[in-house]
Amino acid sequence: MSDKSIVIAGDHAGAGLKSELVQHLKDRGFEPLDLGADGSESVDYPDYADKLASAIADGRAERGVLVCGTGIGISIAANRYRHIRAALCHSTTDARLSRQHNDANVLALGARTMGAQTALDCLDVFLDTDFEAGRHARRVGKMS
């Protein structure tokens, strides 16, 4: 697995934003593993959270991005897995702190609750921010 591999998935409500995020990842030199959905036909977001969790568990990627209408449902579905720390982010501050303090390995975004540029900015910050460890490591360890 390349350190540039990242898995991305979302439901029908997130398909348009997901496409923009995939292109942005490619532009940044990442190798996105796109698990769908790719259209507006209604699908169930837990299925896509499951696919992403499996890809991370299998080692096909270390980090991921999930997108649904609000980001809420898909992040709840993903966080059922102990190896997933999905953070629903609405700002670059959320994205930065989710990495620094929580070592989030999945960024969750809401296609209906944020603009595309804000989502791209959150993605960049999420990818560029390291976990601080230190006092946070013990707490994060309890989640995994």
Residues annotated as catalytic (active site), given as ranges = 68, 101
Radius of gyration of the chain (CA): 14
